């Protein structure tokens, strides 16, 4: 009889543990995974919408103006006649609106 009484609370705490684990996963998804996916989607849309004349910044911090866009690369004019061909994944933001 004592054996059955001892087993009952253990089953209840096991269900509580699974509920807490599920809640931790849901909170993590809401605050970490979901915003990161949204940010990645916005960055991909930015890279797909690049066009000649856009002013961009590379991952390495190089500022330039797009001269030519291909499927995977972009040619950016850095200064004077200096042009660099960079991978589109290396372009992180458009600074056209923020420049004075």
- Domain range list for the chain: 1-49, 51-100
The structure's pTM equals 0.65
Q: Which residues pair with 68 in a beta bridge?
A: 75
Which DSSP symbol is given to 89?
G
pLDDT, averaged in runs of 10, over the chain (100 residues):
51 81 90 90 91 92 93 93 94 71
Distance, CA of 4 to CA of 80 (rounded, Å): 84
The two structure tokens encoding residue 66: 């797009």
Strands ordered across the beta sheet of 91-94: 82-87, 73-79, 63-69, 55-58, 91-94
> Which class does domain 51-100 fall in?
mainly beta
């Amino acid at each position: 009889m004592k054996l059955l009484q001892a087993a009952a609370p253990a089953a209840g705490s096991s269900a509580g543990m699974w509920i807490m684990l599920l809640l931790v996963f849901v909170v993590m998804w809401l605050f970490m995974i979901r915003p990161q996916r949204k940010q990645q989607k916005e960055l991909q849309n930015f890279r797909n919408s690049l066009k000649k004349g856009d002013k961009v910044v590379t991952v390495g911090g190089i500022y330039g103006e797009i001269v030519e866009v291909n499927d995977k690369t972009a040619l950016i004019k850095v200064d004077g006649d200096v042009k660099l061909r960079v991978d589109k994944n290396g372009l992180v933001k458009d600074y056209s609106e923020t420049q004075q």
